[in-house]
Amino acid sequence: MAEVTLSGVTKRFGTDTALGDVSMTVPDGSFVVLLGPTGAGKTTTLRMVAGLDAPDGGTVTIGGRDMAGLTPAQRDVAMVFQQYSLYPHLTVRQNLEFPLKSPILKTPQVAIDRKVGEIAEVLQISHKLDNKATALSGGEMQRVSIGRALVRDPAVYLMDEPLSSLDAKLRADLRIELKSIQADRGATLLYVTHDQIEAMTMATQVGVLDKGRLVQFGTPRDIYEDPVSVYAASRLGQPRINVLPADAFAGAPSGADKIGLRPEQILQGEGEESRVSRVERLGDQTRLHLTYRSHDIVTVTDAHTRLKSGDIVRIRPNNPFYFDASGARLA
């Protein structure tokens, strides 16, 4: 596996800047997640690394080697696209075998059979190996697409929202399996998603992208506990961070325009009055939807709470985040 470095990478499509001076290092053996909404530049970043598009400025290196002018095959990367790409006339087994039968790899058939069997079991498609790709559901096709990458041992795995078409249970199962495979192999994996749960549970580092710019890069815990902006703070955390005018509570510092409150930054039982508007019971926790001075706030409370709609709860901030008018975090 190998370290990936982007240095000042810029990509434009006409007058639109898809990536603007992006610099980051994906350490060897790390699981890096690029997080952001549609249009943030996540997929474009993957395509820069894969060699599917060329940057208008800056450099991409893999294992210390400049990738300028090299084709995707020469870069030794394996990419999983958001839209699965399979050979419809081949069986699942043949689709999984295909990358290993490359003249470059020259993989013995015994090794091919072993790798295909292992990956098919992990992806829960062993019973589908002799089916044609056209006989699969969308979720099964995506699992085969993931499998075609995992049977290989490339320098870098690149994955573009590979779990988005799967049902909730399988998505949860494969989050665990993908992380386990990556850790066991010491693989370098660059993964794109807008799903914060995937970022929090799988990533060693997260890159938060906003309109083509990298706004924060760090561990999921670092970004959750020490966000640089309202935007970065809103990318991670469930329920989502509450953002209110800074003067909603007393004690805002000079220059503060907004106050940010995660559930654990809201103390209950003292402070200002708020009214329970809804109680959302989720089993392991209960979410309280509160109305405070016409503002909506979501926090969590004991799973067995007896609170109900209309009850009064006193709340106050505890070590909240403050942001200026531009959205930047105040120290």
Mean pLDDT over all residues of the chain? 92
State mean pLDDT over 51-64: 96
51: closest CA among 62, 41, 40, 42? 62
| Most confident among 4-8, 81-85, 134-138, 170-174 (mean pLDDT) | 4-8
State mean pLDDT over 270-277: 95
Kindly tell me if the per-residue pLDDT of 177 is higher than 90.
Answer: no
Cα 174 to Cα 38, 81, 198, distances in angstroms: 23, 16, 10
Kindly tell me if the per-residue pLDDT of 271 is higher than 90.
Answer: yes
230: closest CA among 220, 250, 218, 215? 215
309: closest CA among 285, 331, 286? 286
- How far apart CA 145 and CA 188 sit, in angstroms, is 18
Q: What is the dihedral of CA 113, 119, 121, 126, to 10 degrees?
A: -60
State mean pLDDT over 158-181: 86
pLDDT attached to residue 164: 82
State mean pLDDT over 229-238: 95
In this structure, are strands 242-245 and 213-218 parallel, antiparallel, or unpaired? unpaired
Confidence of residue 304 (pLDDT cuts 50, 70, 90): confident
Burial grade of 195 (CB within 10 A; 0-12, 13-18, 19 or more): middle
State mean pLDDT over 195-199: 91
pLDDT attached to residue 202: 93
Kindly tell me if the per-residue pLDDT of 103 is higher than 80.
Answer: no
Local structure of residue 236 (DSSP, 8 states): S
Kindly tell me if the per-residue pLDDT of 73 is higher than 90.
Answer: no
User: Which residues does 331 contact at the CB level (< 8 Å), separation at least 6?
Assistant: none
Helices within the chain (DSSP H only): 42-50, 72-75, 92-97, 109-122, 138-150, 168-185, 196-202, 220-225, 230-235
Confidence of residue 285 (pLDDT cuts 50, 70, 90): confident
Confidence of residue 156 (pLDDT cuts 50, 70, 90): very high
Paired tokens of 7: 């240095």
State mean pLDDT over 90-112: 87
285 vs 325 pLDDT, higher one? 325
Domain boundaries, the chain: 4-234, 259-331
Which residue do the tokens 């329970």 mark? Answer: 276
- How far apart CA 131 and CA 58 sit, in angstroms, is 45
pLDDT attached to residue 170: 83
Local structure of residue 243 (DSSP, 8 states): E
Q: What is the pTM of this model?
A: 0.89
In this structure, are strands 266-281 and 286-292 parallel, antiparallel, or unpaired? antiparallel
- How far apart CA 226 and CA 46 sit, in angstroms, is 26
pLDDT attached to residue 166: 80
pLDDT attached to residue 123: 85
Q: The domain 259-331 belongs to what CATH superfamily?
A: Nucleic acid-binding proteins (2.40.50.140)
Read off the pLDDT of residues 254-269 as tens digits, 9 standing for 90 and up. 999 999 999 999 999 8
With beta carbons less than 8 A apart as the criterion, state whether 159 and 80 touch. yes
In sequence order, what are the beta bridge partners of 209? Answer: 214
Confidence of residue 61 (pLDDT cuts 50, 70, 90): very high
6: left (phi over 0), alpha (psi -120 to 50) or beta: beta
CATH top-level class of 4-234: alpha beta
Sign of CA dihedral 281, 284, 287, 288: positive
State mean pLDDT over 167-180: 86
pLDDT attached to residue 181: 85
